[in-house]
Amino acid sequence: MSHTGRGTEPAKRALRREFLAVRNTLTVDDVREAAHALARRALELPELAGARTVAAYVSVGTEPGTLPLLDALRARGVRVLLPALLPDNDLDWGAYTGEGSLARVQHGGKMALFEPAGERLGPHAVAEADVVLLPGLAVDARGMRLGRGGGSYDRVLARLEAADAHPALVVLLYDTEVVERVPEEAHDRPVQAVVTPSGVRRFA
């Protein structure tokens, strides 16, 4: 069976709706507890232990929370880069220097995002990262990630490939979002590991 974009996209859309519906049942306390567990688990990753620069993101709503992890990485002396969404859905990057360095930005009809308020480093800054922490909605047994569908991180991964940069790719999810298989397209790239509140799973 060929995995063409046409056949795969409706399946991805349906799956996204399912995973988002489950996330939307989470309480503020659920999200906060999971965020602290996620940070503890992620900090055990050898890739993060040796990282000088980490590209990450600020979680919003019921996404697996990232702020405790961002602060823990900063406390270790790691340079943390955060994305800023560009009008064409590509990502620029800026440094995270604590919660005061974030600005709430409304992007059209989409949800408001928290982005770095300081200097923009350009879309290519991500190539300096030793680890890229990716958002997602699910990951399967092969390490294939189901993203939100905006395409921003497809561009990031293509840019890393073009720059011959090979950071560790790690997706942050809830336990129930590690599944047997997600639909994939030709441009999809597997991640090396998933971190959930209950632990780390690696992919070959």
Q: Is the dihedral of CA 169, 175, 179, 185 positive or negative?
A: negative
Decide if pLDDT at 157 tops 90: yes
The pLDDT tens digits for 28-37 are: 999 999 999 9
Tell me the average pLDDT of the chain: 93
- What percentage of the chain reaches a pLDDT higher than 70? 97
Give 173-196 as a 3 state SS string. CCHHHECCCCCCCCCCCCCCEEEE
The pLDDT tens digits for 58-117 are: 999 999 999 999 999 999 999 999 999 999 999 999 999 988 999 999 988 777 899 999
Q: Read off the pLDDT of each residue in 41-57 and give the average, rounded to a whole number.
A: 95
108 compared with 190, residue with greater pLDDT: 190
149 compared with 3, residue with greater pLDDT: 149
99 compared with 119, residue with greater pLDDT: 119
10 compared with 55, residue with greater pLDDT: 55
Q: Which domains are delineated in the chain? A: 5-202 (3.40.50.10420)
- Residue 1 pLDDT grade (very low, low, confident, very high; cuts 50, 70, 90): very low
Nearest to 101 by CA among 80, 86, 87, 122: 80
